[in-house]
Amino acid sequence: MNNFPLITILIPVYGHENLLKDSLNSSINQSYKNLEILVISDGSKKINTIKNIIEMSKDNRVKLIKNTKNLGVASVLNQGINISKGKFISWLSHDDIMDADKIKIQYEFLKEKKAKIVYSNFILFNNEYKKNIKSINLNKFNNQYLTLLSNDNIHGCSFLFDKKILDNLYKFNSNYKHVQDYDLWLRLSKKYRFFYQDKYLLFSRNHS
């Protein structure tokens, strides 16, 4: 493991707690093994459900962080970034699922390209259908900021970041309830280049 840096997966949880099982299993079963998995309860009223799912995993890489109040996903992600020990950060919504090789493929890409940010395509699914969504290929554009302004079909959970870039200036804005990820991508794109992988590495669940 010494040749492979620690990578942190952040999983905020609030509502639909039973869906955490699939999300957590997809993290635990990653082919890249040197992981820290932080499950963060955002004031969940079903904390015992979360605890049971974690205990059933029997994996000591999984840690539970409990917030007594609902802070919102932006604040919880910032909390996770501050606590995390990994050299790289990946965010996974507790109702989404990672491809088993997501972390491995993206880490190897960042290492090879000496890059800071990579993202991929994703598959939108529910019980009735699956739909492959191609993210915009920002590799093609010199001005990635302007391109992001006009096209936002990038899924936040498809990213892998070098943690060093997520300092106080580049954190999620807790004032935003729904566009905290898009806001951060825009700010990051002014300083860092986003690298696109034409691979489907995330399954995003579409539900109420």
Per-residue pLDDT of the chain (208 residues; tens, 9 = 90+): 558 999 999 999 999 999 999 999 999 999 999 999 999 999 999 999 999 999 999 999 999 999 999 999 999 999 999 999 999 999 999 999 999 999 999 999 999 999 999 999 999 999 888 999 999 999 999 999 999 999 888 999 999 999 999 987 899 999 887 889 999 999 999 999 999 999 999 999 987 7
CA 30 to centroid of chain Cα atoms: 14
CA distances from 123 to 65, 98, 100, 130 (A): 29, 10, 14, 7
What residues does 120 pair with on adjacent strands? 197
Q: What pTM did the predictor assign?
A: 0.95
Contact between 101 and 29 under an 8 Å Cβ cutoff? The reply is no
Beta strand 117-125 with 130-133: parallel, antiparallel or unpaired?
Answer: antiparallel
Beta strand 160-162 with 117-125: parallel, antiparallel or unpaired?
Answer: antiparallel
